[in-house]
Structure 1
Amino acid sequence: MDLQPPFQPLPPEFYQQPTLELARSLVGHILVKDTEEGLTAGVIVETEAYLGEHDQAAHSFGKRRTKRTEIMFSEPGHVYTYTMHTHCLINVVAAEPGNPQAILIRAVEPVYGIELMQARRPVDKMKNLTNGPGKLTKAMGIEMSDYGRTFFQPPLIIAEGASVENIATGPRIGIDNSGPAKDYPYRFWIKDNPYRSR
């Protein structure tokens, strides 16, 4: 896949979908980050939705409002970054203001700035470059300082890509201590794409 800039950001209206529909719709669009080192971009191949106060796996379960989760209560289309095991993870804020839901971007397929990604994250196999939420942020230069931005204003955007038909759904990953929520089919990925996390 060979996609070149300029990348056109999706409009704010795109994010005004029910969270599960948005999580599915994001697959196939392009995550783009511009830094002083250069521009990188990858097609989103895997997402996970977290449905807020009633979803035991969500950071905002029970409508927890903390310094970390504050941005989740904002307009959809905002950037929610957080740190897990020293890795920065990136999420799309979803749902209406006051209803703290979010979508984790789990994996992307690199399409632009690949040499820069490899310099940031040397790997033996290309598929290991961005096939996980912590891997993709390091490769693309996405940091905690991106918290609170929107995805429709540079330097961090989600750009228009292509619609995808062969999308699979299944349980989310790494949330074994979340009761019944661990089995909710809130993960979406492109079937047979080598860059999906697992």
Structure 2
Amino acid sequence: MYREIYETLKKNFKLRNMDVEYFETLDEAKLRILSIVPVEASIGIGHSETLQNMKITDALLERGNVVYDKELAQNSEECKALKKKALLTDWYITGSNAISVDGRIVNVDHSGNRVAAITFGPDRVIIVVGKNKIVDTVEEAVKRVKNVACPQNAKRAGYNPPCVKLNRCVNCVSKERVCNSLSIIEGQMDCNRIKVFIVNEEYGF
């Protein structure tokens, strides 16, 4: 089934100047990243459960890339500095909260560093998503982000906005809210900039 969806995704994203590639496993996607990202390139990493499962930061560091990943920080100040440095890298690798078959990429961020980098800054962006992140329309993507991804990400990060208990968005103004920046990528000016890697496995929120 996902092979058929992939062909539609590929066509619709291409119309919006974005490329889609399909992989059966996360390891296949990892090998593809390592094959196209130059060893001399600087890399920014957007926090993602999918990428943590892939262990892509370790692989890039081991072969000699300069990598800015906030998960490597020892404290909050270092974390903030790494997120800023990631905005000006050659390549940015991240996950996504949802993509729609009609060709949109939808994310929500706490601090906004990930959606900022996807939008502008790094020369090239790779977005890795499991098949569980695929929905039909952009409306469904936003719904998924707010009602599935946000509660789980808030809980993972140790925050307790109302959605954690309710398992649904109530458009709160809690100080512990994690959904501060909603991003919908509708297309790209540079047709070579964004690549979406779809993995035929379920990963992340």
TM-score with structure 1 setting the length: 0.24
Which protein is bigger by CA-based radius of gyration? Answer: 2
Q: Which has the higher strand share?
A: 1
TM-score with structure 2 setting the length: 0.24
Q: Which has the higher helix share?
A: 2
